Amino acid sequence: VSFQRCPTDKAYFIAKEILATERTYLKDLEVITVWFRSAVIKENAMPEGLMTLLFSNIDPIYEFHRGFLKEIEQRLSLW
């Protein structure tokens, strides 16, 4: 038997909470990948090798979560 979930469904609210958490997390990652990096570059505050090491780990995480957030938004818009 198939039934359509209504927006008061507990799963819907859990999904909305995941969406809100993911948006916050992505903003935090953006602060690191965009604003912090540009400030460090501007001030020449870190050796290039250390910058590469630090951001080579963060950039892929940031890119993954950008796509993940879009997917969550799309799925919730179709709920």
Q: Does any domain span residue 18? A: yes
- Tell me the one-letter amino acid at 13: F
For position 1, what pLDDT does the model report? 47
C-alpha–C-alpha distance, residues 26 and 69, integer Å: 8
Is the whole-model pTM more than 0.85? no
Structural domain containing residue 16: 8-78
For position 31, what pLDDT does the model report? 94
- The answer to whether residue 23 scores a pLDDT higher than 90 is yes
Q: Does any domain span residue 23? A: yes
Q: Does any domain span residue 3? A: no
Domain count, the chain: 1
- Tell me the one-letter amino acid at 27: K
Residue 40 and residue 55 in contact, taking contact as beta carbons nearer than 8 Å: no
pLDDT in tens, 1-13: 445 556 568 888 9
pLDDT in tens, 25-74: 999 999 998 899 999 999 999 999 999 988 888 989 999 999 999 999 99
Q: Does any domain span residue 74? A: yes
